[in-house]
C-alpha cells in the first residue's frame, strides 16, 4: 500500500475546511520552481527586460501625452490642481541639489524658506531619493523642468517593471504580469496625483520593496532582507506616507504567514520567517533613523500642528465609496479634477463653497478602480482551492487599505448620514481605531491609503487573467491571444489618461539676475505668507508661490509652504514692523509700519537687500487685485522710499540700503 503524500489535503475532522486547505496547500508557498522563474527574469533575458522597459516607457509617454513634446519648458498639471503642491514639488528637487551639492548641508533643515528662523523638514515630503536622482540631470542640463519630466517617465517605467516581476512570481504569465504592471503604474488615482503631488505619484519603491520581501520569503537569503530594508528606508525618505502604509502591509504579511505556519505546525519555518522580517525591519530602521528620530522629536515637541489638532481633517480627507466606481475626470479629454477647496481647521463648518468632505473626482478622491480589473480580481477567487495563498493574502491587503482609506465614517455620495427604511444613521469605521496609533494615525488624508490598494488589485487581476488564459488554452486555444488582447485593451481604455494639461511656468529674468548677484543677503517676496498643510498666516497666495520664486532667485526668503511648520514661525509674521504689513496689506498699517527708519532697520537686521512685489503667480494668474498691489507698491515706493530697479507685468523689484556683501 502506498503511503499518503505528506503535503496532500487530507480530511481532518478536528479542523475546519478552510484552515485545513490553507495550512496544507503548498502550491503558493515558497518553491524552487517559482523562485527559479523569478531569478531567471532578474538575472537573464536581457532582451526581454529591454523590451519590457521600452513597452512601459512607451505607455508612460502615451499616458502623459503630450508632455514628451514639451519636456524642456513645461510640466504636467491642471487648471484646478493644487498649484502650491506643484511649486513645492519643484522646490524639493532644487533644494536637495542645493543642500547636498552646493551647501554640503543637511537637506532636512532649511533657512532658504521661513528666513530668518528656518524650518525643519522632517515632517515635510522632501522626496530625497527623487532629488538625489535628479542631481545629475540638473547639473548637466541646468533645467529643473526637464530633469523632473525625464525622472517622471522613468519612475512610471520602474513602477510597472517592479509590479511585472512581482506578478510573474505568482503567475509565471508574461501577459498577465504586463497587465499588472500597467494597472499599478498608471492607475487613475496615481495619474491624478501626477498633476501636482509628485511624492504621491512616485510609487516605484512600493512594488520594489514587496518584490524583495517575497524574494526573502522564497529563499531565506539575508541579502534579500537587506535589500528590502534598504528600499523601505528609501521609501521613507521619499514619501513618509507610503513608508507608514508599508508598516501596515508588513504587519498583514507577518500575521498572515504566522497563522499559516502555526496551522502547519512548522515552527522551524516560522522562526526563520520572523528572523528574516526582523532583519528587514532593523535595516529599515537603522537607515531611516535620522528621519524617524527627527520626526518623532518634532511631533513630541508640540510645536507643529497635527491631524489630531484638527480632528475633522481626517474625515474631510477620506474616501467616498462612489469614488471607487466613478471614472476619473481625467478620462478621455478631461484635464481637470473636480474642484475642492482648502479648508482651514478653524473655518466654520457651514463655510460657503467649502464642503465638509472631499468631492468625488477631486484630486484626492479620484480613485476609480476599473470594472475590468475588478472583474479579473473576482475571477482570481476561482483559483482559491488550488492556490489560496496567492489570492487570500492579496484580498486581505486590498480590503484593509480600501477600508482604512474610507476614514472614520462611511461616506456615500458626499454624506455620512445614510437612510434605510426611514431610519437615518452613520456607520463608524475601523479608521477610528487606526488613528489612535502613535505616528501612523497622525495623518490628515486617509484617502491616500487607497493608493496602496492598487498593488493587490493589480496582482489579483493578473491571477484572474492567468486563470482565463489557462482555461482558454485547455478549451478554446485559438481564442487565447484575441481574448487576452481584448482584456488588455479594455484596461487601457478604462485607465486612458491623455491628453494631460501642461503649463509653462513663468521665469522672470529679474529673478535670474538676483540669483547671479554674489553676496549673502535675503529677498522678501511680497505679498508675504507662511503656511503648511493645515494652517496659514499672512497672504495665502504669497505663501503658495514663494518657494517657486525662491528657486529662481536662489536667495533666502521669508515666506513659503511646507508640509508642517512651527506655530511660532507662522505667528512671527506679526512681529516685525514693515514685514507685518507686507504679510497683511489689507489691514491698516501701524505707526511702526509707517516709520521709514524703523522698517529700514528691520531690513538691515535681516539682510533683506531686495523686496520683490509679485503681480502674477507662476501660472500667470493675479497674485492679488490691482488695487491691493497698488497699495503695496505705494507703501514700498513712497512710504519706505525704496528705489524701483525693475518693473514689468510680472513683478516690481525694490532695492534697500543693504549691501550685497553685508
pLDDT digit string, tens, across residues 79-117: 776 578 999 999 999 999 999 999 999 999 999 999 999
Closest to 113 in 3D by CA, of 517, 522, 510, 507 = 522
- Assign 242 a pLDDT band (cuts: 50, 70, 90): very high
- pLDDT at position 308 is 56
In this prediction the pTM is 0.90
Query: Which of left, alpha, beta for 221 (phi over 0: left; psi -120 to 50: alpha)?
Result: beta
In 554-636, where does DSSP find H-type helix?
567-571, 579-583, 596-605, 626-634
Of 304-313, 440-449, 542-551, the range with the highest mean pLDDT is 542-551
- Could you write out the DSSP letters of every residue in 586-605? TSPPPTTTT-HHHHHHHHHH
- Assign 25 a pLDDT band (cuts: 50, 70, 90): low
CB count within 10 Å of CB 189 equals: 26
- pLDDT at position 535 is 87
The pLDDT tens digits of the residues spanning 556-585 come to 999 999 999 999 999 999 999 999 999 999
Q: Which of residues 536 and 40 earns the better pLDDT score? A: 536
Rounded CA separation 429/409 (Å): 5
Pairing of strands 651-655, 643-647: antiparallel
Size of the chain in residues:
662
The pLDDT tens digits of the residues spanning 490-512 come to 999 999 999 999 999 999 999 99
Rounded CA separation 220/167 (Å): 20
CA quadruple 253, 257, 259, 262: dihedral, nearest 10: -150
Does the N-terminal peptide bond of residue 116 adopt cis geometry, omega within 30 degrees of 0? yes
Amino acid at each position: 500500500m502506498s503511503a499518503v503524500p505528506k503535503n496532500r489535503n487530507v480530511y481532518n475532522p478536528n479542523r475546519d475546511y478552510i484552515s485545513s486547505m490553507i495550512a496544507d496547500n503548498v502550491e503558493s508557498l515558497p518553491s524552487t520552481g517559482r523562485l527559479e522563474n523569478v531569478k531567471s527574469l532578474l538575472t537573464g533575458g536581457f532582451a526581454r527586460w529591454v523590451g519590457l522597459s521600452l513597452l512601459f516607457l512607451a505607455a508612460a509617454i502615451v499616458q502623459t501625452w503630450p508632455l514628451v513634446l514639451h519636456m524642456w519648458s513645461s510640466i504636467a498639471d491642471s487648471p484646478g490642481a493644487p498649484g502650491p503642491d506643484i511649486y513645492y514639488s519643484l522646490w524639493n528637487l532644487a533644494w536637495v541639489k542645493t543642500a547636498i551639492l552646493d551647501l554640503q548641508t543637511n537637506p532636512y533643515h532649511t533657512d532658504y524658506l521661513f528666513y530668518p528662523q528656518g524650518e525643519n523638514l522632517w515632517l515635510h515630503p522632501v522626496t530625497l531619493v527623487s532629488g538625489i536622482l535628479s542631481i545629475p540631470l540638473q547639473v548637466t542640463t541646468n533645467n529643473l523642468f526637464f530633469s523632473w519630466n525625464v525622472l517622471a517617465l522613468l519612475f512610471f517605467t520602474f513602477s510597472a517593471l517592479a509590479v511585472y516581476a512581482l506578478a510573474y512570481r505568482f503567475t509565471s504569465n508574461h501577459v498577465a504580469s504586463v497587465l499588472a504592471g500597467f494597472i499599478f503604474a498608471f492607475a487613475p488615482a496615481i495619474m491624478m496625483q501626477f498633476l501636482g503631488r509628485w511624492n504621491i505619484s512616485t510609487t516605484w519603491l512600493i512594488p520594489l520593496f514587496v518584490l524583495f520581501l517575497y524574494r526573502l520569503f522564497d529563499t531565506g537569503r539575508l541579502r534579500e532582507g537587506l535589500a528590502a530594508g534598504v528600499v523601505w528606508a528609501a521609501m521613507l525618505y521619499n514619501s513618509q506616507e507610503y513608508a507608514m502604509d508599508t508598516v501596515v502591509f508588513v504587519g498583514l504579511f507577518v500575521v498572515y504567514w504566522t497563522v499559516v505556519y502555526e496551522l502547519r505546525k512548522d515552527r522551524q519555518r516560522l522562526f526563520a520567517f520572523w528572523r528574516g522580517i526582523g532583519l528587514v525591519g532593523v535595516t529599515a530602521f537603522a537607515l531611516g533613523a535620522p528621519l524617524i528620530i527627527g520626526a518623532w522629536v518634532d511631533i513630541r515637541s508640540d510645536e507643529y500642528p497635527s491631524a489630531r489638532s484638527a480632528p475633522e481633517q481626517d474625515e474631510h480627507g477620506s474616501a467616498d465609496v462612489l469614488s471607487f466606481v466613478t471614472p476619473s475626470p481625467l478620462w478621455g479629454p478631461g484635464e481637470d479634477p473636480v474642484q475642492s477647496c482648502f479648508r482651514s481647521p478653524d473655518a466654520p463648518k457651514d463655510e460657503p463653497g467649502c464642503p465638509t468632505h472631499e468631492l468625488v473626482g477631486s484630486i484626492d478622491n479620484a480613485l476609480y478602480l476599473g470594472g475590468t480589473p475588478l472583474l479579473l480580481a473576482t475571477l482570481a477567487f476561482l483559483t482559491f482551492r488550488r492556490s489560496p495563498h496567492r489570492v487570500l493574502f492579496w484580498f486581505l491587503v486590498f480590503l484593509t487599505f480600501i477600508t482604512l482609506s474610507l476614514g472614520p465614517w462611511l461616506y456615500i455620495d458626499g454624506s455620512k448620514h445614510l437612510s434605510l427604511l426611514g431610519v437615518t444613521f452613520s456607520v463608524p469605521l475601523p479608521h477610528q481605531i487606526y488613528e489612535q496609533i502613535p505616528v501612523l494615525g497622525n495623518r490628515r488624508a486617509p484617502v491616500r491609503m487607497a493608493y496602496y490598494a492598487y498593488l493587490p488589485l493589480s496582482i489579483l487581476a493578473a491571477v484572474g487573467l492567468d486563470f482565463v488564459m489557462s482555461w482558454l488554452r485547455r478549451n478554446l486555444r485559438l481564442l487565447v491571444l484575441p481574448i487576452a488582447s481584448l482584456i488588455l485593451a479594455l484596461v487601457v481604455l478604462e485607465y486612458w489618461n491623455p491628453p494631460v494639461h501642461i503649463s509653462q511656468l513663468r521665469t522672470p529674468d529679474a529673478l535670474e539676475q538676483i540669483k547671479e548677484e554674489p553676496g549673502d543677503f535675503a529677498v522678501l517676496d511680497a505679498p508675504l505668507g507662511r503656511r503648511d498643510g493645515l494652517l496659514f498666516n499672512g497672504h495665502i497666495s504669497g505663501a503658495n508661490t514663494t518657494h517657486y520664486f525662491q528657486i529662481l532667485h536662489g536667495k533666502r526668503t521669508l515666506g513659503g509652504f511646507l508640509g508642517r511648520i512651527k506655530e511660532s514661525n507662522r505667528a512671527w509674521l506679526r512681529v516685525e514692523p514693515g514685514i507685518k504689513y507686507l504679510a497683511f496689506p489689507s489691514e491698516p498699517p501701524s505707526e511702526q509700519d509707517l516709520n521709514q527708519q524703523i522698517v529700514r532697520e528691520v531690513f538691515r537686521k535681516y539682510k533683506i537687500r531686495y523686496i520683490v512685489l509679485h503681480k502674477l503667480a507662476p501660472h500667470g494668474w493675479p497674485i492679488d487685485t490691482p488695487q491691493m498691489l497698488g497699495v503695496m507698491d505705494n507703501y514700498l515706493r513712497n512710504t519706505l522710499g525704496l528705489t524701483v530697479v525693475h518693473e514689468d507685468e510680472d513683478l516690481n523689484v525694490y532695492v534697500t540700503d543693504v549691501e550685497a556683501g553685508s
